[in-house]
Homo-oligomer: A and B are copies of this chain.
Amino acid sequence: MSADVAARRGIPDASVARLPGYLQALTNFAERGIGSVSSEELATAAGVSSAKLRKDLSHLGSYGVRGVGYEVDRLSYEISTALGLTQDWPVAIIGMGNLGRALAAYSGFATRGFNVIAVLDRDADLVGAAVGEHRIRPMGDLGALVRDDRLAIGVIATPADSAQEVADHLVSAGVRSILNFAPCVLDVPDDVMVRKVDMSTELQILAFHEQRRTGELDLSAQSTVEGVAL
């Protein structure tokens, strides 16, 4: 088996998750007119170690030049290809509350190859209302969006209590990639991939570390007591 096929087979999840960061850093270099970078420079810009970067890139193939570094444009292209970003991906956002509207207005999607082709809500009263350039469509339109517009990715921006229902809708319409902003676990078939974004979870993780910080004095006091007990 060629190295190329081996590489394309199994890029570790942890590596895949870092590729977007490398791509972003490369884009910054390109914008600053920098044509070539070393693993050390790129790693620093992406916030990882150079060893990790090189290991990650080695899963894609061998696109650097020893003694020189990586050509920014070339590496950007290779990572984009690996991530499947040479094509545009049609995206639908479901749930037009505050968050859904903010996501629909977010310009960062388009610049990264994601096209918001539709916004939907299950609330009939909202259907037809304008959100930016879109009009809110009913959930029943999902099937047509998958069939006619190759919709492949659904973004759930509803409250937790309707997220599962929306997910079921997406799955039965044929969507197999879901980005879930609702703070709940979704039950989907094995071949459907769900990624979750949860701000409350992130804040709670920060709180854990913040608490540990302020609790450090107490802990050291406790271990002193134990030292005595020993």
By a beta-carbon cutoff of 8 Å, the part of chain A in contact with chain B is: 1-2, 5, 8-9, 16-17, 19-21, 23-25, 45-47, 82-85, 89, 91, 98-99, 101-103, 105-106, 108-109, 112-114, 152-153, 155, 176-179, 183-185, 191, 193, 195, 197-213, 219, 222-223, 226
Contact, CB under 8 Å: B102 / A101: yes
- Known contacts: A21-B201, A85-B207, A210-B177. The answer to whether A46 contacts B102 by CB under 8 A is no
CB<8 Å pairs between A and B, sample of 19: A1-B223, A2-B226, A5-B223, A8-B219, A16-B205, A17-B201, A17-B205, A20-B198, A25-B185, A83-B207, A102-B102, A108-B200, A109-B199, A109-B200, A114-B203, A153-B207, A177-B209, A195-B202, A197-B202
Q: Which residues of B contact A89 (CB under 8 A)?
A: 203, 207, 210
Main secondary structure of the interface of A (DSSP, over half): helix
Given contacts A16-B208, A197-B199, 7 further A-B contacts (CB under 8 A): A20-B198, A84-B212, A99-B106, A101-B102, A114-B200, A152-B210, A193-B210
A166 to B: closest C-beta gap in Å: 16
Q: Which residues of B contact A109 (CB under 8 A)?
A: 199-200, 203
Contact, CB under 8 Å: A83 / B183: no
Neighbour of A202 across the interface among B47, B106, B179, CB < 8 A: B179
Q: Provide the bound-state CA to CA distance between A45 and B187, in Å.
A: 10
Instruction: Select from chain B the residue with minimum beta-carbon distance to A222.
Output: B5
Most buried by B among A198, A203, A212: A203
A26 to B: closest C-beta gap in Å: 13
Contact, CB under 8 Å: A206 / B179: yes
